Amino acid sequence: MIKLKYRTGLKDMPSYDVVERDWNIKVNANESNLNMPPMVEERLMARLSSVAFNRYPNEQVDTLAEQIAANFNLGKENVLIANGSSEILEKLFFAFGGRGRKIVYPQPSFSMYKIYAKFSASTGVPVDLKDDYTFDPVAFVDAVKENKATLAVICSPNNPTGTKIPLADIEYVAKNIDCAFAVDEAYVEFDGGTAVGLMRDYPHMMIARTFSKAYGLASARVGYLLADKKIIEMVGKACMPYHVNVLSAITADIVYQMRDEYVPRIQMSIAERKRMSELLKQIDGMEIYPSVTNFILVKHPQAVEINKYLESLGIGVRSFGNAPRLENCLRISMGTREENDTWYKAIKDFVEGNVQ
Ligand SMILES: *Cc1c(COP(=O)(O)O)cnc(C)c1O
């Protein structure tokens, strides 16, 4: 075997570390536990029969961009469609990062920021959230300035803490930094408090969104960036030709057209989050972080053992191992009411010692 010369640093890159198996109850990835509403599926199936599979995608992606732009009173040139907001984020780190450059983001937050920083050969600079996981705008701005960062990223509502960054704090950051500023709004549909309105006054601001969470379309990998048209043009250069496939584009297009169909399930998820937060408080030693998303972060001294027990029952929640500042934390996505009752009972039984 020839000794292959992989790119410098690749060997030490972590793999995306979610352990998947055939769970009985899967509440570990903040997905929707409901598949497409039947009316949406029907329309998609009809549309599939008219796809020109032999052609590269073109107008399908444009149509989606136009539709999204119209919803925000923006132009098509302010929207970049991509393979999930993951691709958006990766390209942002690529476009604004590079050797010798620094990119600032909160900690704990979405685990991929650190990895995209490495991938883009940039230096990631995590800024600690406060002890209660709320955002510290002053510390964040100071870090951006001290490091002369070229990109600042925040996540609101934040994954995995579920906490939201107040709009006033986001504006404070926008006003006081002089580099590209991206807000990851992967969970905003569960909350409504978007920062899109700030983009008008702060053209260095960008918003990343996804179809994977509230719209239950994780399988199709579709996300988008809203930004000034120069930013869209530059970040677009970092994408390969025809990077978004037709099947995903038309699926997202139909889902977006029919997004009213998703309102009841989004509301159900919010109601479940409230119900489960209250119930979790009744478990001895359980600390619950207030969430505005479709998941709840909890801390418990026996988190590792609880997770093992849940695994033995085929229930997958997200445990963070030794990730910074997430010791003894578990993140649980809201499933159906029955699923939630099941994992809750399992946790309660375990903590109360009702398990062999
Ligand atoms: C899930 C998630 C993403 C990635 O979503 P995709 O669109 O599926 O790539 C981005 N940011 C945060 C905070 C997320 O939780």
- Check if 90 has its Cβ closer than 6 Å to any atom of ligand 1: no
Model's pTM, two decimal places?
Answer: 0.96
- Check if 159 has its Cβ closer than 6 Å to any atom of ligand 1: yes
Atom of ligand 1 nearest to the CA of 158: 13
Cis peptide before 160 (omega within 30 of 0): yes
- Check if 84 has its Cβ closer than 6 Å to any atom of ligand 1: yes
Longest dimension (CA), the chain: 61
Residue-wise pLDDT tens for the chain (356 aa)? 899 999 888 888 877 666 678 999 999 999 999 999 999 999 999 999 999 999 999 899 999 999 999 999 999 999 999 999 999 999 999 999 999 999 999 999 999 999 999 999 999 999 999 999 999 999 999 999 999 999 999 999 999 999 999 999 999 999 999 999 999 999 999 998 999 999 999 999 999 999 999 999 999 999 999 999 999 999 999 999 999 999 999 999 999 999 999 999 999 999 999 999 999 999 999 999 999 999 999 999 999 999 999 999 999 999 987 888 999 999 999 999 999 999 999 999 999 998 87
Measure the CA–CA gap between 158 and 140, rounded to whole angstroms.
15
Look-up of token digits 């996300």: 223
Measure the CA–CA gap between 98 and 109, rounded to whole angstroms.
21
Cα angle 231, 232, 238; round to 5: 95
Ligand 1: centre distance to CA 272 (Å):
21
Cis peptide before 57 (omega within 30 of 0): no
Q: Whose CA is nearest to atom 5 of ligand 1?
A: 85
CA 352 to chain centre: 33
Q: Are 259 and 40 in contact (CB under 8 A)?
A: no
Atom of ligand 1 nearest to the CA of 210: 7
- Check if 60 has its Cβ closer than 6 Å to any atom of ligand 1: no
Q: Taking Cα atoms as reference points, which of 35, 34, 87, 28 lies closest to residue 209? A: 87
Neighbours of 41 (CB within 10 A): 13
Q: Are 160 and 108 in contact (CB under 8 A)?
A: yes
Atom of ligand 1 nearest to the CA of 155: 13
Q: Report the DSSP beta bridge partners of residue 184.
A: 155, 208
